[in-house]
């Protein structure tokens, strides 16, 4: 059966699917977020080889994407800069 989360090559096995990722991955959830919780993201990050976990400390949760606190964007920009530096 195919559909969301039911890929034929992993038969719906999330750990197997995430374990096949070979790209460098930074998992950066918003703390206090209720869409993608820090706990869920960390559990999934641990299944991805060559991944790193950097929660974004903010009281705004997922609303921070609207830019309530400039220091949160500084943190995100620094991590993106780190990724780009490592690629070059």
- Structural domain of 50: 24-87
**pTM for the complete prediction?**
0.72
Report how many domains make up the chain.
1
Determine phi and psi for 46, rounding to 5 degrees. -65, -15
Q: Is residue 52, in this structure, part of any structural domain at all?
A: yes
Is residue 15 in a domain? no
Q: What is the pLDDT of residue 27?
A: 94
Domain-located, residue 74:
yes
Query: CA 19, CA 46: separation in Å to the nearest integer?
Result: 9
**pLDDT 10s digits, 10-60:** 888 999 999 999 998 999 998 887 788 999 999 999 999 999 999 988 877
pLDDT digits over 48-79, tens only?
999 999 998 887 766 666 667 778 778 888 98
SS3 call for 61 = helix
Does a structural domain hold residue 19? no
Say which residue the tokens 């620094």 belong to.
Answer: 78
Run of H or E residues at 18 = helix 14-19
């Amino acid at each position: 059966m195919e559909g969301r989360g039911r890929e034929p090559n992993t038969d719906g096995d999330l750990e197997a699917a995430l374990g096949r990722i070979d790209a460098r991955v930074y998992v950066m959830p918003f703390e206090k977020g209720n869409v993608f919780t820090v706990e869920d993201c960390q559990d999934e990050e641990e299944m991805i080889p060559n991944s790193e976990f950097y929660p974004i400390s903010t009281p705004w949760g997922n609303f921070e994407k609207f830019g309530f606190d400039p220091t949160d964007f500084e943190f995100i920009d620094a991590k993106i800069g780190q990724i780009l530096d490592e690629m070059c």
